[in-house]
Amino acid sequence: MQDPLSGIRVLDLTNVLAGPFCCHQLAHLGAEVIKVEAVGRGDLARQLGADPELNARDMGVSFLAQNAGKKSVTVNLKHPEGRALFLRLVGTADVVVENFRPGVMDRLGVGYGVLREVRRDLVYCAISGFGQDGPWVKRPAYDQIIQGISGVMSITGDAKSAPLRVGYPIADTVGGMTAAFAVAAALNARPRGGFIDVSMLESVLATMGWVVSNHLIAGVTPQANGNENPTSAPSGTFEAAGGPINIAANKDEQWQALARHLGREDLLVHPDYATREDRKANRHALREELETVLRTRPAHDWARELNAIGVPAGAVMTVPEVLESEQIAGRGFLERFEKVPGVGRDIAVVTTGVKLDGRAPSVSTPPPELGQHATEIWTSLGLGPDEIDDLRERGAI
- pLDDT tens for each residue of 220-252: 999 999 999 999 999 999 999 999 999 999 999
Give, to the nearest 10 degrees, the angle between helix 209-216 and helix 200-207. 80
Contacts of 234 (CB under 8 A, 6+ apart): 247, 249, 255, 258, 279, 283, 286, 287, 290
- Note the pTM of the prediction, 2 decimals: 0.94
Would you kindly state where each structural domain of the chain is located, as residue ranges? Answer: 9-208+331-393, 235-317
CATH number corresponding to 235-317: 3.30.1540.10
Please report the pLDDT score of residue 295 as a whole number: 98
d(CA 60, CA 275): 53
Report CA Rg, the chain: 25
Q: CATH homologous superfamily of domain 9-208+331-393?
A: Crotonobetainyl-coa:carnitine coa-transferase; domain 1 (3.40.50.10540)
Please report the pLDDT score of residue 2 as a whole number: 76
* Spans of the chain below 70 pLDDT: 1
In this structure, the strands spanning 123-128 and 194-199 are: parallel
Please report the pLDDT score of residue 389 as a whole number: 96
Active site residue 172: yes
Please report the pLDDT score of residue 330 as a whole number: 86
Helix (H, G, I), strand (E, B) or coil at 78: coil
Residue 121, CA distances (Å) to 184, 191, 345 in order: 14, 7, 41
Dihedral sign (CA 26, 28, 31, 34): positive
- Side-chain half-sphere exposure of 206, counting CA atoms within 13 A: 12
Residues in the chain: 397
Catalytic residue among 58, 121, 172, 272: 172
Backbone phi, psi, residue 241, to 5°: -65, 125
Backbone phi, psi, residue 160, to 5°: -85, -35
